[in-house]
């Protein structure tokens, strides 16, 4: 097994119902060939598991944590409290359309940052792309893939036609 | 030392700057003669301390936790995750006027409740009164004090005059 | 009839249409074996009934009031005005997604607290769990049940698998 | 004493601190010569007094109730529950800039209306003007005064000059 | 034709699509036997018609105007600018759930009041009930009908049962 | 007097207190040498004056209307109802920080557009710049001035230094 | 080819999925006979294309840019940065109901204005009408068409009947 | 000069007035010994400079971009459009308390991520800490410093005492 195949990113979420959104992160990571794992871990229902998982993640050599949660979304913030790894937060859509999830995730106090992405599936995709941008600092191969991805999405837009 | 003098309520807050608000909870508890303690504990900066403190609080026989925090206010929710004691949350005023603190505190997922009070010092006072209402279920003396408190505040309003 | 079978919690709501949400509170209470009653009582359409019901509830030895209401949700606050019992508020989803219900319930003035839970059915479930946490202070059996409930929900999450 | 000098409007407010705003209602009523009274009455701290005051107001022949309150502003709604008189609500500025007061006042359920005015002192002035508009339906003298008031405020604006 | 059969209330709305909401006002007025008329008039698309209609309404002896509009809801405010009759505003549900309609209707400047009701059909019903409360000041028959209406809705709630 | 010195833009506002904000529009227009006039006109307090002023403005050959108003800000929308000239709206800062002014100005129904700028003085400056952009379509001199203005503000930013 | 048939307005949008909304702008422009073009161009995915397209649009003699975008809607603002042509922004409905799109579009800093229309399809239609109002300053034919359009929509409203 | 002394982070902001907030980022970076530079660059006033600066930053070997902006805050998003480097966004406090800045920064469409931090100076500090967390993936020295920083802030909280 090469170093590259070691798990590099953990995608965690507060509830299994978040998977529908968070699978978008997993799909992007798979598309870029980034070894990752996905887990349901709740800041409220499994607090010890969260602490343990995050501390182990750092020890196991993971590079980035992606955490998706909704409502009083504490998952990303509490994960960040347990590690110096970069933690990315994805606010779930919720009863208040994700405004509660967004504010609970992004308004962290000075000292413990969470890099927050957009509400919902766009945020999940972007969390994966942001994680890849971090990993790409050390993996030139990912830089090339990112550039190709950007180029491709540019081409796709440039080919769009409208029945104006 | 009687059972009554044992610490019954913990008033915790995420930052020393929250004391200006949270001291209102302490003042009410003192006024009602409820033994309590006050601590700065951060869900993000001291996560292990929080877990340990809350678990110990339950073991030490405390009855209610009051937690005040602002912004991405995770303190009450994470405290609630570590105990079956009733946890009361007080959202601090913040950059977004406390809306972020309120939503981060109140929008807890099913399974781990936080009884949330109003934003700011009114909420801090009411958290103490709510804690007293809980304690009063077992302490008839507190029931009498609560009734007297209510009576007094009623009288105060009834005596108000306006230069109409 | 034993003391335990005496009604301990009242679940009231402003309109029959709130039952779909508030039945979640009743289900949890039943699951924990807590004797309770459910009533439609409106702060606006039946104000005298509300005053009378709440005052009687206290006299009848009830321990906790759970009040669910939507829009200009005054039920919990007005209930709290008539008793020193702990009153828990559940904001209904509404035209403004429950933001109006939430603010009307939680922003109580200093002196008359309402312990507010999340908007909608998660809040209804949590109001019941919070009521049980209060009752558990006096009923060791409920403490055990609460711990088991927490353990079970922890196990459920730990068993979740994702097709990552 | 003539019929005209009988108290026609009650201006009530939840706290003495609301007087600074609500005195604007009293000033307009005085300006128009409408006999009125002002009282601090709280829906939460003096619920029985509120019920009694409102029911008596109707019996005493008052015509309109103006109620100002802030936060979880239940005063106007609960007043309306106790009378068929028109009840006007004035949301106070508050921690959330009056958004909580506004939603708590205006979002009444079908069946018990509150005619809500703007947040703060503009709302207090307008509540008085609206009360006068109601009274004017029966008092031609007030119609003339209202027309003159409108004319005067029109003239005032038309005379404004700007250093453009 | 008796005096009673003269049109007393006008129900206007900015667009025919508002009728689904505003018909609730008409139904209540019909139920109470209040002669009224309904019109689509837009503050923006038919400004002269609005000015003319409102001025005529006052001359024709109408007593109350009810105006429903959505989005940048100017109808009630501009109607109020053209008359000293009481004007009631009903904010329509809209792209922003009626928050824009509500703020556009209620936040009137000092001098020109609009008595604002809740967003949507509850507000439409309540606008009619509020208009009736105003008319009832002069028509004892309406007072009796209002009391009966209140009594009936009280009875309806008191008979509700829940499968608790 | 040349054609150029004919009044081309009207800057109107709902209250003299709006001048502090709206003078920023006037300053920009003066800086660009655009003949303009400024008036206090209220949609609510002087509705006939508004209708007349706007209709005359179109007849007098004005090219653009800039309207600033706060709260239930109807000025721009009602102005737009009376003319086919482009109408620009500037939402004033207000009790709700300008959110009410913004929504009341921008959320116009299909058929009567208002081009809305930012809340407060930035919006006032930009309304003037937008009016100039419209006028520049016919006045090449203004195109040159606009380009120079853009160039100058670019230079100003490029010269900024920070004590990093 | 006459001058009139030269493209005068560009309707751009950040994503093909915005077409459902933005086609309303195209339909109005077609109805008024205004030559225009429609393009998908993203401020984020095709930034160089945007800069180039906008600069060329100015050189090609276009008169107005209409830009529709959602979420962190930067399209109109960045377009405005590259031209002195009037730029109109249409906020798309989005996860936060368009509030994010609206604020991202309208809250431009002093110096670079965007004339913003309502959220969604009403805004798209109005952007086209506003563009026409600008063009009409130079094209008397469009003035006549605009007046006819206004007259027609007035007639349509005046003919509406309601089953009151 | 060693590799370590090469500029690794750029701190850019839309206006010199943002420096008061953004200097908090610079201070943290200096404290951690991270070579960085600070620039005022506006997405709207200097769009070409922004594109050029960002593209050069990537070529010059910078690792992370921190962008602070307010209102319709497009700086971070447009920066991200021009590079595959990780871009961190800091929403400035603004007329709408930073809600507009936050939504404009965080709600990026899928494909171009911005890692968003809290509103204001806490966000600026955390952006620097997040950048350091990214750099630390390659620089073990920074990992040690981050751990020490965390330890220190934990100690600071644990030493806080309250006059309870």
**pLDDT tens for residues G91-111?**
999 989 999 999 999 999 999
Alpha-carbon gap: A95 to the closest alpha carbon of chain C (Å): 7
User: Domains in chain A and their CATH numbers?
Assistant: 9-159 (3.40.50.1970)
E95 confidence band (pLDDT: 50, 70, 90): confident
DSSP for E8-37? -EEEEESSGGGHHHHHHHHHHHHHTT--EE
Contacts of H95 in chain G (CB under 8 A): 107
pLDDT in tens, C5-43: 799 999 999 999 999 999 999 999 999 999 999 999 999
**Rounded alpha-carbon distances, angstroms, from residue A13 to A92, C9, C162:** 10, 34, 10
Q: What is the block-wise mean pLDDT of chain A (164 residues), using blocks of 10 residues? A: 73 98 98 98 97 97 98 98 98 95 98 98 98 97 98 96 94
H5 confidence band (pLDDT: 50, 70, 90): confident
Instruction: Supply D127's token pair.
Output: 């509540």
* Mean pLDDT along residues B124-129: 98
Whether the complex's predicted ipTM is more than 0.85 is answered with yes
* Mean pLDDT along residues E12-24: 98
By C-alpha distance, the chain C residue nearest A50 is: C158
Whether residues B116 and C121 touch (CB distance < 8 A) is answered with no
Closest CA to G79 of G70, G94, G89, G71: G89
Within 13 Å of residue A17, how many CA atoms lie on the same side as its CB? 7
User: What confidence score (pLDDT) does residue B4 get?
Assistant: 47
* Mean pLDDT along residues H56-70: 97
- Number of neighbours of residue H34 by Cβ within 10 angstroms: 23
Q: What are the b/e assignments for H81-92, b being 16+ CB within 10 Å?
A: bbbbbbbbbbbb
Beta bridge partners of H10: H37, H65
pLDDT in tens, A62-101: 999 999 999 999 999 999 999 999 999 999 999 899 999 9
Which residue of H63, H114, H122 is in closest CB contact with A137?
H63
Which residue of A113, A130, A153 is in closest CB contact with H86?
A130
- Checking if the pLDDT of F138 tops 70, the result is yes
Whether residues A164 and G38 touch (CB distance < 8 A) is answered with yes
SS3 (DSSP) at G35? coil
User: How many angstroms separate the most distant Cα atoms in chain G?
Assistant: 57
User: What confidence score (pLDDT) does residue H62 get?
Assistant: 98
- Number of neighbours of residue A155 by Cβ within 10 angstroms: 11
Whether residues D46 and B162 touch (CB distance < 8 A) is answered with no
Alpha-carbon gap: B109 to the closest alpha carbon of chain H (Å): 23
Which residue of C86, C116, C134 is in closest CB contact with B116?
C116
Which residue of B119, B157, B163 is in closest CB contact with D42?
B157
| Contact of D6 with D35, CB cutoff 8 Å | yes
Mean pLDDT across chain H:
96
Q: What are the b/e assignments for F70-90, b being 16+ CB within 10 Å?
A: bbbbbbbbbbbbbbbbbbbbb
Which residue of C86, C115, C137 is in closest CB contact with B116?
C115
Residue C129: which H helix or E strand, with range? helix C121-136
User: What confidence score (pLDDT) does residue B2 get?
Assistant: 42
> What distance in Å separates the CA atoms of residue B105 and residue A73, rounded to the nearest whole number?
9
Whether residues H109 and G80 touch (CB distance < 8 A) is answered with no
Contacts of A43 in chain B (CB under 8 A): 74, 77-78, 81
Contacts of G119 in chain E (CB under 8 A): 95-96
Phi and psi at residue A76, in whole multiples of 5°? Answer: -65, -45
User: What confidence score (pLDDT) does residue E5 get?
Assistant: 77
Q: Is H49 on the interface with G (CB under 8 A)?
A: no
pLDDT in tens, F70-98: 999 999 999 999 999 999 999 999 989 99
User: What confidence score (pLDDT) does residue G95 get?
Assistant: 87
Within 13 Å of residue E3, how many CA atoms lie on the same side as its CB? 4
User: What confidence score (pLDDT) does residue F133 get?
Assistant: 98
**Rounded alpha-carbon distances, angstroms, from residue B121 to B21, B23, D143, F93:** 5, 8, 46, 27
H95 confidence band (pLDDT: 50, 70, 90): confident
Chain F: list its partners (3+ Cβ pairs within 8 Å): D, E, G, H
F1 confidence band (pLDDT: 50, 70, 90): very low
H89 confidence band (pLDDT: 50, 70, 90): very high
pLDDT in tens, H12-50: 999 999 999 999 999 999 999 999 999 999 999 999 999
Nearest-5° Cα angle at D102, D97 to D107:
150
User: What confidence score (pLDDT) does residue B1 get?
Assistant: 35
- Checking if the pLDDT of C1 tops 60, the result is no
Q: What is the dihedral of CA D16, D20, D21, D23, to 10 degrees?
A: 90
pLDDT in tens, B49-76: 999 999 999 999 999 999 999 999 999 9
Mean pLDDT across chain E:
96
Percent of chain B with pLDDT over 90: 96
Q: Is D93 on the interface with F (CB under 8 A)?
A: yes
Beta bridge partners of E12: E39, E67
Number of H helices, E strands in chain F: 6, 5
pLDDT in tens, B93-107: 998 999 999 999 999
Closest CA to B15 of D51, H156, E73, E31: H156
**Rounded alpha-carbon distances, angstroms, from residue A84 to A111, A136, H88, H134:** 11, 19, 17, 9
Residue F39: which H helix or E strand, with range? strand F36-40
D4 confidence band (pLDDT: 50, 70, 90): very low
User: What confidence score (pLDDT) does residue F39 get?
Assistant: 98
H107 confidence band (pLDDT: 50, 70, 90): very high
User: What confidence score (pLDDT) does residue C5 get?
Assistant: 77
* Mean pLDDT along residues F120-132: 98
Whether residues F119 and H19 touch (CB distance < 8 A) is answered with no
E52 confidence band (pLDDT: 50, 70, 90): very high
**Residue where the block lists tokens 């161009």:** G41
Instruction: Supply D65's token pair.
Output: 């109730």
User: What confidence score (pLDDT) does residue D3 get?
Assistant: 46
User: What confidence score (pLDDT) does residue G3 get?
Assistant: 46
Q: Is H58 on the interface with A (CB under 8 A)?
A: no
- Number of neighbours of residue H30 by Cβ within 10 angstroms: 14
User: What confidence score (pLDDT) does residue E120 get?
Assistant: 98
Instruction: Supply A138's token pair.
Output: 């050390």
DSSP letter, residue H44: T
- Checking if the pLDDT of C4 tops 90, the result is no
User: What confidence score (pLDDT) does residue H18 get?
Assistant: 98
D44 confidence band (pLDDT: 50, 70, 90): very high
User: What confidence score (pLDDT) does residue C3 get?
Assistant: 46
B13 confidence band (pLDDT: 50, 70, 90): very high
Percent of chain G with pLDDT over 90: 96
| Contact of C69 with D74, CB cutoff 8 Å | no
| Contact of G80 with F133, CB cutoff 8 Å | no
Residue scoring higher pLDDT (H53 or C5)? H53
* Per-window interface: F 116-155 vs G, CB < 8 A: 116-119, 121-122, 125-127, 129-130, 133-134, 136-138, 143, 146-147, 150, 153
User: What confidence score (pLDDT) does residue E118 get?
Assistant: 98
């Amino acid at each position: 097994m090469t170093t590259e195949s070691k798990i590099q990113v953990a995608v965690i979420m507060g509830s299994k119902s978040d998977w529908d959104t968070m699978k978008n992160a997993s799909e992007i990571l798979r598309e870029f060939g980034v070894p990752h794992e996905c887990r349901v871990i709740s800041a409220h229902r499994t607090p010890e598991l969260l602490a343990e998982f995050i501390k182990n993640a750092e020890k196991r050599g993971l590079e980035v944590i992606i955490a998706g949660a909704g409502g009083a979304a504490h998952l990303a913030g509490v994960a960040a409290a347990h590690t110096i790894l970069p933690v990315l937060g994805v606010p779930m859509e919720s009863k208040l359309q994700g405004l509660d999830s967004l504010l609970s995730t992004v308004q962290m106090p000075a000292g413990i940052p969470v890099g927050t992405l957009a509400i919902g599936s766009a945020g999940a995709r972007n969390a994966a792309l942001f994680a890849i941008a971090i990993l790409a600092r050390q993996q030139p191969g990912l830089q090339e893939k990112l550039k190709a991805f950007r180029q491709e999405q540019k081409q796709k837009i440039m080919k769009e036609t409208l029945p104006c």
